[in-house]
Amino acid sequence: MTETALGNKLPITAIILTFNEEKNIEACLDSIYDSVGEIYVVDSFSTDNTLSILKKYPSVKVVQNAFENYSIQRNWAFDNLEIANDFILNLDADHRVMPELRDELREYFDKGVPENINGFMASRRTMFLGKWIKRGGHFPVYHGIIFRRGFGQCELKKYDQHFLIKGDSIVLKSNVIDIITESLTVFTERHNKWSSLEAQDFIDYQNNKGEGRVQALKDGNEMEKRRYQRMKYYSYPPFLRVFLYFFHRFILKGGFREGVPGLIFHFLQGFWFRFLVDAKIWELKNEKKE
């Protein structure tokens, strides 16, 4: 049996995670509100105006669950929500589904999604200080944004999680906009926290070889290829790989062509953050020796 569009809305359930997202949630919802059949917001007890804003959207189903980490929250939603549709769209509050992506999905569902297709992948358009960062190897970067219920889960990582999809996926041509920061202060605070998670994830990966994660496969799907590139990066000597990575992104991949926003982004995300991760890996390894 194939999955087809019903009426004006796609037979898709969107799940959005929130915590204090008053600046983002409205634009996120507006990008899908009239297009998908069901929307859940899983909120981690926001203390700003997020919940008040959600009241403007009467059909949105709001549930609250204490946040432990991204993977656990996502998988809790899959296991506990009464999801009406066979396909699940996973979004964060700072994501925006482009009209072209909605149209592309409608074409697939109007024709009927083949039984062997259990997911859809799309690239994100990173927006940083109002600029689309499309050079420096940062676009396209594919993520599994939709999967068939029962055939997907969030991988067990503390940072930079992808969705494990069982079976075949379609790679979409259109994108999801990702508003990655509201200010440089927020950006650096988040990446300082994320560098600790990434460092611990790397230590965990060395210990259990990536159980419950997207596999690093040179000839796999787009996410698996990306993970292969990430693990190849980690095969190079610590700290030296940071300089090589920044040179690759900023010079060889043309990041320097994106002006001041590109310089700031590629230096902070492609050098400072990566250097901080290596420093914290070194710190963790040396703590264990003491």
3-state secondary structure of 274: helix
Residues 251-286: tens digit of each pLDDT: 999 999 999 999 999 999 999 999 999 999 999 988
17 located within any domain:
yes
Residue 123 sits in the same domain as residue 24: yes
Residue 57 sits in the same domain as residue 158: yes
Positive or negative CA dihedral for 171, 182, 88, 35? negative
64 strand-pairing partners: 43
| pLDDT value for 210 | 57
Residues 183-196: tens digit of each pLDDT: 899 999 999 999 99
For the beta carbon of residue 168, count every other beta carbon within 10 angstroms.
Answer: 12
CA separation for the pair 140, 137 (Å, rounded): 7
CA separation for the pair 124, 118 (Å, rounded): 20
6 has pLDDT over 70 = no
2 located within any domain:
no
Domain stop point among 138, 157, 179: 179
1 has pLDDT over 50 = no
224 located within any domain:
yes
Residue 69 sits in the same domain as residue 52: yes
CA separation for the pair 186, 169 (Å, rounded): 34
4 has pLDDT over 60 = no
Yes or no: say if 233 and 245 are a contact pair by the CB < 8 Å rule: yes
Residue 175 sits in the same domain as residue 194: no
Yes or no: say if 108 and 160 are a contact pair by the CB < 8 Å rule: no
36 located within any domain:
yes
Residues 11-26: tens digit of each pLDDT: 999 999 999 999 999 9
Residue 160 sits in the same domain as residue 210: no
Domain stop point among 130, 162, 179: 179
At residue 227's C-alpha, the angle toward residues 89 and 200, to 5°, is 95
- Total structural domains within the chain: 2
Residue 285 sits in the same domain as residue 199: yes
Domain stop point among 179, 212, 234: 179
| pLDDT value for 216 | 79
H or E segment to which residue 201 belongs: helix 184-208
Q: In this structure, what token pair is assigned to residue 67?
A: 């946040």
% of residues, the chain, pLDDT over 70? 95
- Kindly indicate the confidence band of residue 2, based on its pLDDT and cuts at 50, 70 and 90: very low
Residue 38 sits in the same domain as residue 136: yes
280 located within any domain:
yes
The one-letter code for the residue type at 1 is M
Cβ contacts of residue 179 below 8 Å, gap of 6+? 24, 94, 95, 96, 127
Residue 117 sits in the same domain as residue 202: no
Residue 254 sits in the same domain as residue 155: no
Report the CATH number that the domain containing residue 131 is assigned in CATH: 3.90.550.10
33 has pLDDT over 70 = yes
**DSSP code of 256?**
G
5 located within any domain:
no
245 located within any domain:
yes
Taking CA atoms, 134 is separated from 187, 212, 231, in Å, by 18, 30, 23
| pLDDT value for 38 | 98
- Kindly indicate the confidence band of residue 3, based on its pLDDT and cuts at 50, 70 and 90: low
Residue 33 sits in the same domain as residue 151: yes
Outline where DSSP puts E strands in 33-150: 36-43, 61-64, 87-92, 95-97, 117-128, 131-132, 142-148
124 located within any domain:
yes
Chain-wide mean pLDDT for the chain?
Answer: 92
Give the domain range for residue 52: 10-179
Mean pLDDT of 129-139: 92
205 has pLDDT over 80 = no
- Kindly indicate the confidence band of residue 156, based on its pLDDT and cuts at 50, 70 and 90: confident
At residue 208's C-alpha, the angle toward residues 213 and 222, to 5°, is 25
| pLDDT value for 8 | 81
180 has pLDDT over 50 = yes
- Main-chain phi, psi angles of 287, to 5 degrees: -65, -40
| pLDDT value for 224 | 82
Global pTM value? 0.89
Residue 174 sits in the same domain as residue 242: no
H or E segment to which residue 186 belongs: helix 184-208
- Kindly indicate the confidence band of residue 240, based on its pLDDT and cuts at 50, 70 and 90: very high
Residue 134 sits in the same domain as residue 49: yes
